[in-house]
Amino acid sequence: MPAMLTHAQVWTALDRLAARAKLSPSGLAKKAGLDPTTFNKSKRVTPEGRPRWPSTESVAKSLQATGVSIDIFVSLISDGAAAAKSVPLIAFAEAGGSGYFDDGGFPVGKGWDEIAFPAVNDENAYALEISGDLMLPAYRDGDVILVSPAAPVRRGDRVVVKTKQGEVMVRELKRQTAKLVELKSLNPDHPERTLPIDEVMWIARILWASQ
């Protein structure tokens, strides 16, 4: 008797489809013309605890939007498909809220979604989904950046910085001394920032960004 297709396999395939297109699940939904929350982890189970399956229409629209054939999608269902590591994901706009990071900038607590990234070896990595156009031309609305709080940071790196006042920003590290951190804006319309080192909670390096 042939094996039954499982709820987990179908959702894993959609996560892999999103990762293949360098999108978050919500980014895939938007690209397919669906409600951005259609593929969110919270939508995969009903409030009563029953599995909720993606509709045939939503899968078809996602395949059309990404230019992927049904044969390739079926291969993403297989356990033998290229491995994709799930990393925590939140919207960049939420990153300044309390409870998402510890004092070292590592992801903690609840409220995170997940996104699958192929060939991610950093167990501390997490992803932020950009919203709005404040980071143009570097990052557009819907782009996802992969961040490593454990990676060494060097001059010229693009980084995520959180201050002790709760402000979170994406900048290029221009210079860091024992007393100051100099940050270059990715948007030419925004000025550079210089922060006293004792006002900075943490700095984390951006490893990768969807484009």
Give per-10-residue mean pLDDT for the chain (211 aa). Answer: 72 87 88 93 87 93 90 72 72 90 90 75 87 88 90 94 95 96 93 96 91 60
Alpha helices (H) along the chain? 7-20, 25-31, 56-66, 70-77
Q: Which helix (H) or strand (E) holds 37?
A: none
pTM of model > 0.85: no
Structural domain boundaries in the chain = 7-82, 85-209
Can you give the pLDDT at residue 141?
Answer: 87
Query: Please, what CATH class does the domain formed by 7-82 belong to?
Result: mainly alpha
- Sheet of strand 180-185: strand arrangement: 113-118, 84-91, 126-129, 144-148, 200-209, 158-163, 168-176, 180-185, 193-196
Give the whole-number percent of the chain exceeding pLDDT 90.
Answer: 47
Domain 85-209 CATH assignment equals 2.10.109.10: yes
Which tokens go with 3? 């094996």
Instruction: Give the model confidence (pLDDT) of 119-152 as tens digits.
Output: 667 788 999 999 888 898 899 888 889 999 988 9
